[in-house]
Homo-oligomer: A and B are copies of this chain.
Amino acid sequence: MNPTLEIFSQGEEIVTGQVVDTNAAWLSQQAVNMGFTVTRHTAVGDKLEDLTQVLLDISARADCCICTGGLGPTSDDLTAEAVATAFAVPLVFDEIAYAQIAQFFHHRNRDMPECNRKQALLPQGSIRLDNHTGTAPGFALKHGRCWFAFVPGVPSEMRQLFLDHIQPMLASRFTLLPDKLITIKTIGIGESDLQERINTIGIPSQVKLGFRAELGEVQIKLLFPGDYPDEGRETLTNRIAASIGDAVYTIEDTGHPPGDLVSVVDQLMTIGGHTLAIMETVSHGLLAAKLVGTTWLQNALIEQSIESLTHRLQVDYHPDDLVATAKAIAMAMQKNSGADMALIQLTSSSGIADSNQKQGTTVISLLGVNNQFTHAVRTLVGDINRKQQQSALLSLDLLRRHLQANAIDREKS
């Protein structure tokens, strides 16, 4: 039997529905991956009585509980007080926590307001969980049968504290036999097409098969019991991946850090020693934004008007031949930027701002390794934000397929 774990979220913004509680889902996934059985989520507002009661109930019911929110400096942040009341432990002033909070303000050249002092009051006997990105330290303690960990509700801080402190702590305190999750990540192929290809392969009944679709990407989830033989797992995974072909951009293992399309492209560009210039229309900066931190993106351009761009670059604009126009722009950008590759988006609707209404044809083209020119023509649908996301992904995927095909060619020769 796996140990049980509950998620407890605090905040008026959650119970009143102003914020969707994405923390609960993220933490549950992490806990399931570690080998816990997640049994319950609870959320209450900023009421001391409710907080106290929920803490007491959980301490009698679960083996572990992760609590988010209520650690801020303001008067509606009541978690530490609720812990003190529920578990009858005094709050004590933690010198190190205080020094860290003071340092947070010092680094930002700001005076520390008096009310932040409160965040250094931790339940006696609890383990402090240092927070390097915000002011609120987390803390952990055991009450009844249950190990509690308390973290801020800000998602980035919550994730950092979970990964840095809570995950290792739980791994050492519980005996866990986690299921093994394999994720096959694909792009450019639909969920039902994937299902049909996989149907031809026999999946053993112990293996749980699931799909998760978001925008252009579909992930195939294979959940293997902890005692499933390694070899059988690998064989099955490879057979499924082979049946899907080059739409698979990566295969993720429980143990490996999450690799999205950006990190796969980043690796391929870095290994190949390439540099890139891009021109975005529909994705409107989102492609460049996703590539933040890469060293090979030389520059990027977002243009409202193709006419004024072609004029400035002194290349011909063929409104009826977007592919030829894209190729001319790519060559000019390659020359101007000094990058060895250029990725260009063009759309048939006159202005980008119109793309909310129109189902414009989008041409995504790449002047790639050894000046090979490839392109894809797509009709994007949905609202403007969906088109923006889709076109950024499709552009990245064109680049990914080109780089992977070239890497395979190099291996062969």
Residues of A within 8 A of B (CB): 9, 12-22, 24-32, 38-47, 50, 72-76, 107-110, 113-116, 133, 154, 156, 190-193, 195-196, 208-214, 221, 280, 283-295, 297-305, 308-309, 312, 336, 338, 351-353, 355-356, 379, 381-386, 388
Contacts of A214 in B (CB 8 A): 154
Q: Is B336's CB under 8 angstroms from A312's CB?
A: yes
- Contacting pair A196 B356 (CB below 8 A): no
User: Would you call A193 and B113 a contact (CB within 8 A)?
Assistant: yes
Cross-chain contact B29 with A39 (CB below 8 angstroms): no
Q: For residue A17, which residues in chain B have a CB less than 8 angstroms away from its CB?
A: 24-32, 38
Contacts of A221 in B (CB 8 A): 12-13, 18
Q: Is the Cβ of A295 less than 8 Å from the Cβ of B210?
A: no
In angstroms, Cα B338 to Cα A289, docked, is 25
Q: Are A41 and B43 in contact (CB under 8 A)?
A: yes
Assembled-state Cα–Cα distance A109/B19 (Å) = 41
The residues of B that contact A30 with a CB separation of less than 8 Å are: 17
| Residues of chain B contacted by A386 (CB below 8 angstroms) | 133, 156
Q: Min CB distance, A214 to chain B, in Å?
A: 7
Q: Could you give 7 example pairs across A and B, Cβ below 8 Å?
A: A15-B28, A17-B30, A41-B42, A73-B191, A74-B191, A113-B196, A285-B287
- CB A250 to nearest CB in B, in angstroms, measures 16
The CA-CA distance from A39 to B31 in the complex, in Å, is 26
- Flag if A299 contacts B301 (CB, 8 Å): yes
Please indicate the chain B residues that have their CB under 8 angstroms from the CB of A388 in the complex: 289, 292
- List residues of chain B with CB within 8 A of the CB of A381: 107-108
B289 contacts A284, C-beta separation under 8 Å: yes
B-chain residues with CB within 8 Å of residue A39 when the two chains form the complex: 15, 44-45, 47, 50
